[in-house]
Structure 1
Amino acid sequence: MASLVLTITLSLLLLAPPTFAFNCSKPPIYVDIHKRAVHDSSEFQYGSFIGVGTPAQNHSLWPSLTQNHTSFAASAYCRNSSLKGCEDGTGGFFVKSDSTSFQENDNFKSLDNSRFTGSSSFGQDTLRLYTHYFETDGASQTLVENSTIEIAEKGSIAPGIVGMGLSSTLLQSLVSKDIIAGRTYSLYIGQGFDRAGGAVNGSNTFGGFDAGRFTEPVHAYKMKESNTSPFTVRVKDITITSPDGRNVSLLDKSVFQNTDAGPFDAQLTTDQYPLSLPFSVTENFKRQLNARPDPENRFGDDSLQLPAPFAGSMTIVLDDGFSVTLPGEVLSNASNISPVQNRARNDSRPFYLSTAFLTQVYLMADFDSYTFFLAPAVQKNNIVMPTTFCPKSIPRPYVWPKQSAWVRNGLIGAVIGGVFGGIGIGIVGFCFWAAWVRRRAERREEDEERARKRAKMEQFEVEEGVGTTEFEGPPKRGARRGWRFWRR
């Protein structure tokens, strides 16, 4: 019998998910994303609240799902860059000579394909991850010493990056230093940056997820390590919903004849804002909404422009049934610029569900099991709930306690108010009744005392006035005493 129990126990241990190797008691590190002042710049910039160096040089870094290094702009970057609006888009500047903890590493080999058309260097320094829940409150920090960082010397793109790719050096440092439970990470990119034109801020959660930021259902996908972005999904359909409620599929060959549109693989990325869809799908989008390339190309990303504001929406449906809807304010901004990128027929680049898609989605990644999860994002979340994301587990959102109809409709408050109000009225009524009873007893006692005195006086008067015929009349009206309620 004992051997049978041992055999069953060993079998269960072998079949159970191997989460016992991870220290899942470690709390996650929450790093918010919003606009703030950054080092050596007068402009407030949108990004992750991360500093570097000793003393701290604070930056706003943009999360990247494809890059592996956390990078900063060198102090001279904009003098050697063709980046449009460079001073406002670097996330801050890093001055190597001002940091006493920086160590140059000329022999380090990059884990990324070159992001910069110019050049960059590598070194080790202390990263400072700031936990800052509310803009009006102070921030606490988590120090990640001796971390690998990239310093962009010159180039054509925004260099301030939190590298959260498949081989993220920051995530590996956090795990190797036993700061978080495992190589897990979650992202809500938010909408508080200029291209999105919204007001909702985002967040990173290293080693965890924000349980209040997403809702069910949670959809799981396997990472495709061979792709530039391992976060790859299959798109089954894209529909346009007009303001009157009519739906048109951009992949429907009966509507868009002479098209070869069909389901396609798309990579999730934050490296660009507009979606990059297959050529035929892009052409169908243009025909359906009369979209044209923006003649000014004001965002530099070839986004299509609509002829007028569009109050409808666009829904992207993945092959497992998960659907994400881009509302009208995303589909058509104040300048009628859409979140769809123009695409040439011979364009060989991957298809992307980009930042515009991620403004509506919460992303959770488990790099230990090479699995990622997508769920509907809670756009306006007033409560932050950082929760440990143990590797090889499934993240679940916080479920608010169910409330009865009385609580939901505020009836319980009315009942409680009525009860206490009734008690108050009863107490006041009792005070009035007690005062009235007391005064009545006092009057009765006074009347009885006067009657006794009058009887006694009448007895004396009768004895003294025997034989007379004159009697004293009744008391005058002015001599009567009125009853005063609050006399005592």
Structure 2
Amino acid sequence: MASLVFYLSATVLLAQSTVAFNCSKQPIYVDIHKRAVHDSPVFQYGSFIGLGTPAQNQSLWPSLAQNHTSFASKDYCKNNTTLKDCNKSTGGFFNNEDSTSFVEIQNFQTLDQAQDKLSGFFGQDTLRLYTHYFETDGASQTLLVNSTIEVADEGSIIPGRVGMGSSSTVLRDLAARDMIAGKTYSLYIGQGFDRAGGSVNGSNVFGGYDSGRFTGVPHKYPMNIANVNPMSVRIKDIVISSSNDNANVSLFDNTVFTDMKSRPADFEAQITTEQFPISFPYQITKNFMDRLGAEQDNTWGDNSLKLKNAFNGTLSIVLEDGFTITLPSEVLMNASNITPIQSRDEKSIDPFYLGAAFLGQVYLMADYETNNFFLAPAVQKNNMVMPQTFCPKSTPLAYVRPQQSSWQKQGLIGAVVGGVIGGLGIIAASCCIWITWMRRKDERRLKRELKKNSQMKMEQMDIEEAPTFDPPPTSMNAAKAMFWRKNKPGMTF
């Protein structure tokens, strides 16, 4: 009886988990790259999303902190003077008066009250999520009608953002309307924006992930919902590697940096898209400056450190579980010697951050149904887009390329196949030549036979005897003459 109850309970739980998430739903892929946006004079880097009826296309930056998707109002730059090049960096502008589907919501309580740096008004309108796999192809759209959005009149941050925080309204609406499998999301931020200085584009996948964008088995971490940026990891080591002398130096090593009495403890860092540089504890930052001769700089307005001399090396961040993320030399130092490491005041109590420079090297996959997320090494240049459903409570699987034998790897199969095909080609060509030659030979023989027959016919005509006729009758025998004419009417003379 007990075993029967156990099996019944297991069946009910399995049925509940199956009903809860419709994992047959295909994900919604939205690419990230530069494009023309509404009422802006320049192309801007961001997620390809439109708003309103008719559509006012925008280029929105993914935010792991904000929960609302926000847009700059048409008057945002008139009311805001703190943002540099405001009219070129908002991701576009939205005029709610031009949208026939916009409805304002009075007295709406924002989900971002604790960290919101924007002020404006809220409403509902149609979000247009554009799926655009290749720049040369046209885009299809997924319509999310009556979605809650924020229209910013002023603020201290860039307003054009896709809210992908733990209470994301976009994920909530998509999942509640059975448009995706669940509240899951994946992000590759890319490097095609000015601060990163690269050319690789990024992508969002709502309800799924791009299996070709990462490699290996993803590393799983719990979210810390108490943080503004809920996805946090613990860092246990940071290693600088030089290509000149192959030396590896840990910024945690108190035998190298003797002003530290002991090795520093692990520390927690929040993964964020709100800034580009990486923020380390003061002592670790100081060690970095001492090792590479870095100094304070604010060229980009984010307090990134600048190296006095060029450095051809890498910086590796080692997480608590051993997962290591390496910033290559072109990321660790740009053409102006500016690094992605942020300066830090000794008395600062701000959180430590792993910004967009970090996200340019990893693929992030978030399961907000279980409050877990995954990190894996990103495939920088992905020639194929392969969106897969990210069912809640599951682990994403990277695309595994077919195994190649040693012959395939060395190109021997190609050589053999090429040789066989080439040999068959030679045989086919030889057959064609032989057939053509035989046909011409037959034609020549036929001509000879016809000529020979013709000659033989002429010879026969030359020796053929002329026919003989009876001579005409003489006048002396009239009776015979009459008889001759009567019997041979066809002969006349």
* TM-score with structure 1 setting the length: 0.86
Report matched runs for 1:352-391 at 5 Å. 352-391=353-392
**What is the Cα deviation at residue 156 of structure 1?**
2.1
Which amino acid in 1 is paired with 2:324? Answer: S
Alignment match, 1:333: 334
Alignment match, 1:483: none
Which amino acid in 2 is paired with 1:230? Answer: P
CA distance 1:51–1:115, shift in 2 (3 Å): farther
Alignment match, 2:239: 239
Considering only CA atoms, is the larger Rg found in Structure 1 or Structure 2?
Answer: 2
**What is the Cα deviation at residue 155 of structure 1?**
1.7
Q: Deviations 1:302-348 (Å, cap 9, x if unpaired)?
A: 10001122210000000101000000010001111100100001101
Report matched runs for 1:20-31 at 5 Å. 20-31=19-30
Cα RMSD, aligned residues only: 2.6
Report matched runs for 1:391-402 at 5 Å. 391-402=392-403
Alignment match, 2:227: 227
Alignment match, 2:258: 257
Q: Provide the rounded CA distance (Å) in 2 between the counterparts of 1:352 and 1:154.
A: 26
Q: Deviations 1:46-83 (Å, cap 9, x if unpaired)?
A: 00001111110000000010110000001111111111
**What is the Cα deviation at residue 384 of structure 1?**
0.2
2:283 paired with 1:280: yes
| Structure 2 residue runs without a partner (length 5+) | 456-493
| Structure 1 residue runs without a partner (length 5+) | 454-488
CA distance 1:440–1:62, shift in 2 (3 Å): closer
**What is the Cα deviation at residue 229 of structure 1?**
1.1
Alignment match, 1:57: 56
Which amino acid in 2 is paired with 1:51? Answer: G
**What is the Cα deviation at residue 440 of structure 1?**
8.9
Alignment match, 2:421: 420
Q: Provide the rounded CA distance (Å) in 2 between the counterparts of 1:241 and 1:331.
A: 11
Q: Provide the rounded CA distance (Å) in 2 between the counterparts of 1:324 and 1:226.
A: 25
CA distance 1:430–1:279, shift in 2 (3 Å): same
Q: Provide the rounded CA distance (Å) in 2 between the counterparts of 1:107 and 1:438.
A: 94
Which amino acid in 2 is paired with 1:202? Answer: G
Tell whether the 8 Å contact from 1:279 to 1:343 is kept in structure 2 after alignment.
Answer: yes
Which amino acid in 2 is paired with 1:320? Answer: D
CA distance 1:147–1:16, shift in 2 (3 Å): closer
Which amino acid in 1 is paired with 2:234? Answer: R
CA distance 1:410–1:17, shift in 2 (3 Å): farther
Identity of aligned residues (%): 60
Report matched runs for 1:470-485 at 5 Å. none
Which amino acid in 1 is paired with 2:276? Answer: Y
Number of residue pairs aligned between Structure 1 and Structure 2: 449
Tell whether the 8 Å contact from 1:17 to 1:392 is kept in structure 2 after alignment.
Answer: no
**What is the Cα deviation at residue 350 of structure 1?**
0.5
**What is the Cα deviation at residue 432 of structure 1?**
5.3
Q: Deviations 1:105-149 (Å, cap 9, x if unpaired)?
A: 121101113656562211111111000111111111111111111
Does the residue aligned with 2:305 lie in a helix, a strand or coil? strand
Does the residue aligned with 2:109 lie in a helix, a strand or coil? coil
2:70 paired with 1:67: no
CA distance 1:62–1:300, shift in 2 (3 Å): same
**What is the Cα deviation at residue 238 of structure 1?**
0.3
Q: Deviations 1:208-254 (Å, cap 9, x if unpaired)?
A: 00010001131000111111111011001000001132100001111
Alignment match, 2:346: 345
* TM-score with structure 2 setting the length: 0.86
Q: Deviations 1:349-378 (Å, cap 9, x if unpaired)?
A: 100111110000000000001110000000
**What is the Cα deviation at residue 420 of structure 1?**
2.2
Q: Provide the rounded CA distance (Å) in 2 between the counterparts of 1:282 and 1:181.
A: 42
Tell whether the 8 Å contact from 2:293 to 2:309 is kept in structure 1 after alignment.
Answer: no
Alignment match, 2:122: 122
Q: Deviations 1:20-54 (Å, cap 9, x if unpaired)?
A: 42110110000000000000011100000011111
**What is the Cα deviation at residue 154 of structure 1?**
1.0
Alignment match, 1:479: none
Tell whether the 8 Å contact from 1:116 to 1:152 is kept in structure 2 after alignment.
Answer: no
Tell whether the 8 Å contact from 2:217 to 2:398 is kept in structure 1 after alignment.
Answer: no
Q: Provide the rounded CA distance (Å) in 2 between the counterparts of 1:174 and 1:133.
A: 21
**What is the Cα deviation at residue 435 of structure 1?**
7.0
